[in-house]
Amino acid sequence: MELRIRNLSKTYANGVVALDKVTLTIPAGMFGLLGPNGAGKSTLMRTLATLQECDAGSVFFGELDVLDEKDEIRRLLGYLPQDFGVYPKVTAYELLDHFAMLKGLSNRARRREVVDGLLQQTNLFEVRHQRLGGFSGGMRQRFGIAQALLGDPQLIIVDEPTAGLDPQERVRFHNLLSDIGEDKTVLLSTHIVSDVSDLCANMAIINKGHVLLCGEPQKLIDDIDGKIWERFVTKAELPYFQREHDVISTRLLTGRTLIRVYGERDPGDGFFAANGDLEDVYFATIAGRHVAASNC
């Protein structure tokens, strides 16, 4: 089913505008919401997960009103928050079994079948009798996905799921999310560009409560074709280039500083044309250099 968000707004008591008329259409499959810390992603996730009220706007999942029909939506919802806590002295099986009872799986045999299946799916079955306090960060995140999948939800929301994971666990988690996203609507909120480029068929960039652009990642990359330029500079030269050009990113590469700039034409000054990628789209958009026509 499609998730339709229209003019969603939220201002906190301290005056911070977390969401400013956010409008998005999120189809079935994996959808990436990309933005820096403080962009409004978690506020949006909590609102969609029926954990927080908004000030104005509407949200529909299919024909269901997410803001008014909270109980109905919760039956279709799986949620993995950014900070997912566990009881350290309880085993993975015991806690997932408890969550399953809370989800209404009262039949013991059926509950065992579901819990075992989810532990298998998240590659935790072999450690199901270990206490959660001994799990690595990646194992805890996979357990978080297992609890989010209880009840066969149709809308799954995951908030910053790979932050802090090592490369191997990130690959495991990507594979897991990819499998889940084949027949459900999965909203992935992250500040990690590679999470979106690896997983999502559609995406949006949000900053300071505003949706800046959205679309298919490859089409967004195509929009900056021929507009990204790069060159190596010394540390002493960097301030000059940042002053004279629209520098969107700097990084160390083999001990040297590589800068990339956004420009409609060759900026001169020793720059070479570079192939743009989703990271360039992200940095150029956040910096206000790139504005793409997009239908959100």
Q: Report the alpha-carbon distance of residue 146 to residue 154 in Å, rounded.
A: 14
End-to-end, the C-alpha distance of the chain in Å comes to 16
Burial class of residue 114, CB neighbours in 10 A (0-12, 13-18, 19+):
buried
Q: Say whether pLDDT at 19 is over 60.
A: yes
The string of pLDDT tens digits covering residues 258-295 is: 999 999 999 999 999 999 999 999 999 998 888 765 56
CB of 229 closer than 8 Å to CB of 263: yes
Please tell me the predicted confidence (pLDDT) of residue 168. Answer: 85
Q: Say whether pLDDT at 296 is over 70.
A: no
Please tell me the predicted confidence (pLDDT) of residue 221. Answer: 94
Please tell me the predicted confidence (pLDDT) of residue 275. Answer: 95
Domain definitions of the chain by residue range: 3-215, 221-286
Please tell me the predicted confidence (pLDDT) of residue 82. Answer: 79
Q: 196: which 2 tokens?
A: 């979106």
Instruction: Tell me the angle at which helices 92-102 and 108-121 cross, rounded to the nearest 10 degrees.
Output: 120
The string of pLDDT tens digits covering residues 199-208 is: 999 999 999 9
The conformational region for residue 269 under phi > 0 = left, psi -120 to 50 = alpha, else beta, is: left
pTM of the model: 0.88
Q: Report the alpha-carbon distance of residue 66 to residue 89 in Å, rounded.
A: 35
Please tell me the predicted confidence (pLDDT) of residue 178. Answer: 87
The string of pLDDT tens digits covering residues 20-68 is: 999 999 999 999 999 998 899 999 999 999 999 999 999 999 999 999 9
Please tell me the predicted confidence (pLDDT) of residue 22. Answer: 96
Q: Does domain 3-215 have CATH number 3.40.50.300?
A: yes
The contacts found for 113-116 with CB under 8 angstroms, 24 or more apart, are 114/150
Please tell me the predicted confidence (pLDDT) of residue 161. Answer: 84
Supply the mean pLDDT for the chain: 92
Please tell me the predicted confidence (pLDDT) of residue 293. Answer: 58
Rg of the chain (C-alpha set): 21
Q: 266: which 2 tokens?
A: 């060759």
Q: How would you write the chain as a 3-class SS string?
A: CCEEEEEEEEECCCCCEEEEEEEEEECCEEEEEECCCCCCHHHHHHHHCCCCCCCEEEEEECCEECCCCHHHHHHCEEEECCCCCCCCCCEHHHHHHHHHHHCCCCCHHHHHHHHHHHHHHCCCHHHCCCEHHHCCHHHHHHHHHHHHCCCCCCEEEEECCCCCCCHHHHHHHHHHHHHHCCCCEEEEEECCHHHHHHHCCEEEEEECCEEEEEECHHHHHHHCCCCEEEEEECCCCHHHHHHHCCEEEEEEECCEEEEEEECCCCCCCCCEECCCCHHHHHHHHHCCCCCCCCCC
